[in-house]
């Protein structure tokens, strides 16, 4: 029965020139939107709603899913070439993607990001299909207690990402956490650290913070250093299509990491409220933790590109599960997708699981195919994009400064965010100059609010006994194991140096 529906949906998708044309249109739009800082998937869906209004449910949904699925493939482009995270989830890619571009390996980093995104996206689609029979118990097993401990697990990665400066890393992580508390207290509704400024009541926007902490310092360094993004000449870099393929082969070389981070991304996507930022940072942390040479990360480790990029795309398959079948959107992007589905006459919820077989399977195939289609589009434009890393910095820096301003204002819709951008840009520069790790800041900022809200909910529902729930115990064990690994690795390294 299920197989018959799946095959019929597959035939419908590939037998319809109209659906294929819609996907061929949606994929470049998704890539472009991802590459423009500050736009991101949710804005793209919001802007696409008027265009899909009036369409039949399946074509409209296919267009939206195909576009949304490849946004994170596109946002790796500015992250790798200029150190600008197109959105929060791409910030983790900057850490190693940009150093690779500086070493003249932009093509390899872009190839790895492309391969990882495609594999992650396809695995996400497979996971969506595979999870269909076992959805409800899994989704319902995650309550506030598990979300809190998952956030704590992510925060524990701060220690992993701190490298050889654990004190600095932890301090910066605390700073990120502190900044996540700016705005209205989720429990009492009282403003905290707002200094009487209304625009701070909404908190610090993550995209603005990422632009300030990651993009601005890189451009300041580039402008002061002179030359191009790539520190080696174009001839010395030997850029060719071979470099791109080398990057894609890196995904195969690190296939187990790719598989693990894809699955982590799917699971993160399944859990409402965590979102893409968490997926990419958790997977980046996992890549560092599982590496035999963690000191390479932050200086151009290809695994540092692969891990967040697989997670970014695979989580979309996972995130569609609660959105489609429980009408519980896992992120703000999924909220908009849910709204757009409703506009199309689709009623997300358990009945869709029972009665909407053709639509669901068509979306599964659209998700997989759009990720593969993105490879073809991306391959066609990457040689031109990689050349940008050899343009002299004097021309790049002002444009990137302008794009960070645009990105910040587009995301928040308020000019006041420029003040936050300025402050965080200077802070990011100071941290970068003094060699303080910046990744822990992002983890703290992203996970702080999630952890606080979930802890309050857990304490209200279960009291301190929430720590004794079975899945909570598993997550506590994972946190302990992660921290123990870091401690043991530190001692081992210390002993080796001695």
Give phi and psi for 392, each to the nearest 5: -65, 145
381 part of the interface to other proteins, by CB under 8 A:
no
Residue whose CB is less far from other proteins, 35 or 270: 35
Residue whose CB is less far from other proteins, 201 or 401: 401
Q: Which of 60, 85, 448, 482 binds other proteins (CB under 8 A)?
A: 448
25 part of the interface to other proteins, by CB under 8 A:
no
Residues 298 and 249 sit within 8 Å (Cβ to Cβ): no
As a dihedral over the C-alpha atoms of residue 286, residue 292, residue 295, residue 298, rounded to 10 degrees, the angle is: -40
Q: Which of 216, 266, 346, 443 binds other proteins (CB under 8 A)?
A: 216
325 part of the interface to other proteins, by CB under 8 A:
no
434 part of the interface to other proteins, by CB under 8 A:
yes
CA–CA dist 423, 427 (Å, integer) = 6
489 part of the interface to other proteins, by CB under 8 A:
no
What 467-472 contacts at long range (C-beta under 8 Å, 24+ apart), as own/partner pairs, is 467/145, 467/149, 469/143, 469/145, 469/146, 471/141, 471/142, 471/145, 471/146, 472/145, 472/146, 472/149
Residue whose CB is less far from other proteins, 259 or 391: 391
CA–CA dist 290, 282 (Å, integer) = 12
Region binding other proteins by CB under 8 A among candidate stretches 215-223, 273-281, 311-319, 461-469: 215-223
Region binding other proteins by CB under 8 A among candidate stretches 53-61, 196-204, 250-258, 447-455: 447-455
Structure tokens at 230: 């790539």
Region binding other proteins by CB under 8 A among candidate stretches 51-59, 103-111, 129-137, 179-187: 179-187
Residues 172 and 436 sit within 8 Å (Cβ to Cβ): yes
CB of 448 to other proteins, least distance (A): 8
Residue whose CB is less far from other proteins, 243 or 432: 432
Give phi and psi for 436, each to the nearest 5: -85, 135
Q: Which of 248, 337, 397, 454 binds other proteins (CB under 8 A)?
A: 397
CA–CA dist 15, 42 (Å, integer) = 30
Residue whose CB is less far from other proteins, 134 or 434: 434
199 part of the interface to other proteins, by CB under 8 A:
no
178 part of the interface to other proteins, by CB under 8 A:
yes
Residues 80 and 378 sit within 8 Å (Cβ to Cβ): no
Residues 98 and 288 sit within 8 Å (Cβ to Cβ): no
Residues 231 and 101 sit within 8 Å (Cβ to Cβ): no
Q: Which of 8, 249, 259, 410 binds other proteins (CB under 8 A)?
A: 410
Residues 91 and 215 sit within 8 Å (Cβ to Cβ): no
Structure tokens at 48: 């696409």
177 part of the interface to other proteins, by CB under 8 A:
yes
CB of 106 to other proteins, least distance (A): 20
Whose tokens are 């690779």? That residue is: 100
Beta bridge partners of 184: 191
| Helix (H) and strand (E) counts in the chain | 25, 2
Binding track, positions 129-168, relative to other proteins; x by CB under 8 A: -----------------------------------xx-xx
Count of beta carbons in the 10 Å neighbourhood of residue 213: 28
Residue whose CB is less far from other proteins, 151 or 244: 151
CA–CA dist 315, 282 (Å, integer) = 12
Structure tokens at 225: 């250093």
- Size of site (CB under 8 A) for other proteins: 61
Q: Which of 11, 394, 468, 481 binds other proteins (CB under 8 A)?
A: 394
CB of 8 to other proteins, least distance (A): 37
Q: Which of 5, 192, 202, 387 binds other proteins (CB under 8 A)?
A: 192
Region binding other proteins by CB under 8 A among candidate stretches 169-177, 250-258, 304-312, 485-493: 169-177
CA–CA dist 96, 297 (Å, integer) = 7
**What is the maximum span of the chain, computed from C-alpha positions, in angstroms?**
70
Structure tokens at 264: 């982590």
225 part of the interface to other proteins, by CB under 8 A:
yes
Nearest to 403 by CA among 41, 25, 75: 75
CB of 395 to other proteins, least distance (A): 7
CA–CA dist 480, 393 (Å, integer) = 45
CB of 153 to other proteins, least distance (A): 17
Region binding other proteins by CB under 8 A among candidate stretches 112-120, 235-243, 284-292, 422-430: 422-430
479 part of the interface to other proteins, by CB under 8 A:
no
Residues of the shown chain interacting with other proteins in the complex, contacts defined by CB under 8 A: 36, 39, 43, 47, 164-165, 167-168, 170-171, 174-175, 177-178, 181, 185, 187-188, 190, 192-193, 216, 219-221, 223-225, 295, 299, 394-395, 397-399, 401-402, 405-406, 409-410, 413, 415, 418-419, 421-422, 425-426, 429-431, 433-436, 448, 451-452, 455-456
């Amino acid at each position: 029965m299920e197989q018959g529906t799946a095959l019929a949906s597959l035939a419908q998708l590939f037998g319809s020139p109209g659906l294929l044309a819609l996907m061929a249109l949606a994929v470049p739009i998704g890539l472009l939107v991802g590459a423009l800082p500050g736009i991101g998937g949710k804005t793209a869906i919001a802007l696409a709603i008027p265009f899909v209004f009036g369409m039949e449910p399946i074509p409209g949904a296919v267009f939206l899913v195909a576009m949304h699925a490849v946004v994170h493939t596109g946002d790796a482009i500015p992250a790798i070439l200029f150190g600008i995270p197109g959105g929060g989830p791409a910030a983790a890619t900057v850490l190693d993607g940009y150093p690779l571009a500086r070493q003249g390996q932009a093509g390899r980093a872009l190839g790895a990001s492309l391969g990882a995104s495609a594999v992650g996206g396809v695995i996400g689609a497979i996971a969506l299909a595979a999870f269909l029979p076992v959805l409800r118990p899994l989704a319902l097993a995650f309550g506030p207690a598990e979300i809190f401990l998952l956030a704590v697990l992510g925060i524990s990665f701060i220690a992993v990402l701190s490298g050889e400066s654990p004190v600095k890393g932890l301090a910066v992580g605390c700073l990120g956490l502190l900044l996540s508390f700016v705005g209205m207290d989720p429990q009492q509704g009282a403003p905290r650290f707002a200094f009487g400024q209304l625009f701070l009541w909404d908190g610090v926007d993550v995209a603005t913070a990422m632009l300030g902490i990651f993009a601005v310092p890189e451009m300041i360094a580039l402008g002061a250093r002179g030359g191009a993004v790539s520190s080696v000449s174009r001839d010395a870099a030997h850029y060719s299509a071979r470099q791109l393929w080398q990057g894609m082969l890196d995904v195969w070389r690190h296939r187990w990491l790719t598989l693990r981070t894809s699955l982590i991304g799917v699971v993160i996507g399944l859990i409402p409220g965590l979102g893409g930022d968490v997926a990419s940072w958790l997977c980046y942390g996992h890549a560092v933790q599982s590496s035999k040479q963690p000191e390479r990360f932050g200086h151009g480790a290809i695994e540092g590109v692969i891990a967040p990029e697989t997670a970014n795309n695979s989580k979309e398959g996972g995130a569609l599960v609660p959105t489609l079948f429980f009408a519980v959107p896992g992120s703000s992007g999924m909220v908009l997708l849910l709204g757009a589905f409703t506009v199309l006459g689709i009623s997300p919820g358990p009945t869709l699981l029972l009665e909407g077989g053709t639509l669901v399977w068509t979306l599964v195939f659209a998700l997989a195919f759009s990720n593969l289609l993105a490879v073809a589009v991306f391959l066609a434009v990457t040689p031109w994009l990689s050349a940008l890393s050899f343009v002299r910095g004097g021309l790049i820096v002002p444009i990137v400064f302008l794009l960070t301003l645009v990105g910040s204002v587009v995301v928040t819709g308020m000019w006041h965010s420029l003040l936050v951008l300025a402050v965080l840009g200077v802070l990011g520069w100071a941290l970068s100059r003094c060699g303080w790790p910046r990744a822990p800041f992002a983890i703290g900022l992203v996970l702080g609010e999630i952890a606080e809200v979930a802890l309050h909910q857990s304490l209200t529902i279960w009291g301190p006994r929430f720590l004794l729930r079975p899945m909570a115990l598993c997550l506590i064990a994972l946190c302990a194991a992660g921290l123990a690994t870091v401690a043991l690795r530190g001692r081992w390294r210390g002993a080796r140096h001695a």
